[in-house]
Amino acid sequence: MSLKEISRNKCFGGHVVKYEHHSEELDCTMKFNVFLPKEASENKVPAIYFLSGLTCTEDNFIQKSGAMAEAAKFGIALIAPDTSPRGISIDGDSDSWDFGTGAGFYLDATEPKWAKHYRMYSYIVKELPHLVHEQLAIDESRVSIMGHSMGGHGALTIHIKHPTQFKTASAFSPIANPINCPWGQKAFSNYLGTDDKESWKKYDTVELLKTHLNERLNILIDVGTADGFLERELLINKLEEATKELGRESEFKIRRQDGYDHSYFFISTFIADHIKHHADVLAAKSVKNKN
């Protein structure tokens, strides 16, 4: 399946390109944005996938995070997918902002009503990398993943399950223990059903830490102390407790940033630290960027 370019803007010496394609996994037309640094015109470059949060499209991160300035310094590509299947209509998919459209939760639904289209896990882990790495100048041996909120949950769970494919992860304000918070319970009960709640655990960072013990992780997490979702939805304290109980504290750098909220103002403040974290792991050296 070929990618159709629908817009291109020069940015920090490279380009932000929006692509459209048919997704076999999601059975619909999808869009995503890529920042290709100028180095990509000559060589394959390392890349960071960014998974966005509830209500987002492929545009929020690219337009609001300020990440391209930082990625350009290291010659790193950024890949920003959408957050759910689009252009389809399923009864109940638009009733609330935290479920359905814009809220795919990076899982493969098993409930028949949702299972045909809501396969964001397979889309992010398999289909999108296959398309992107085949058709763009991306070095697939140097790829990592980051995300925000629902996308932070996606980035952490996908990295823990695929540490070889995605070499590291970082997250802003991730939903760390979705099986125990209202957003996660609403999504998982609808997409995965309530008969087998054990199946929910394969999409829960706290639970995955208990079962995926072989890989030593190196994950950066930032969360704002003034984040209105911190106590009820993100449950970062549950993640901290689990890392302590499992003796895995050293695998996580969890920073509570004083007075910051859940917004992209917070993300843009600390994005440079996150890009640096990924650049270190992906061995992307700082380059002089003459725009």
Ligand X SMILES: N[C@@H](CCC(=O)N[C@@H](CSC=O)C(=O)NCC(=O)O)C(=O)O
Residue numbers annotated as active site: 149, 227, 262
Site for ligand X contains 97 (CB under 6 A): yes
**Cα dist from 40 to 6, 14, 35, 44, whole Å:** 19, 8, 10, 6
Nearer to ligand X, 129 or 152 (CB): 152
Q: How far apart are alpha carbons 176 and 61 in whole angstroms?
A: 20
Least separation in angstroms between CB 225 and ligand X: 17
Give the nearer residue to ligand X in terms of CB position, either 123 or 266: 266
Segment lying near ligand X (by CB under 6 A), choices 184-192, 216-224, 260-268, 275-283: 260-268
The least distance separating ligand X from the CB of residue 259, rounded to whole angstroms, comes to 17
Select 14 or 174, whichever has its Cβ closest to ligand X: 174
Among 60, 144, 190, 205, binds ligand X (CB under 6 A): 60
Locate 54 and state its tokens: 């509830």
Task: Answer yes or no whether residue 150 interacts with ligand X by CB under 6 A.
Answer: yes
Contact stretch for ligand X (CB under 6 A) within 39-47, 49-57, 110-118, 214-222: 49-57
| C-beta of 38 vs 148, nearer to ligand X | 148
Tell whether residue 264 is a contact of ligand X (CB under 6 A): yes
- Closest CB to ligand X among 86 and 142? 86
Least distance from C-beta 279 to ligand X, angstroms? 24
Whole-number minimum distance, CB 217 to ligand X, in Å? 22
- Residues that bind ligand X in the complex, under the rule CB under 6 A: 53-56, 60, 64, 97, 148-150, 262-264
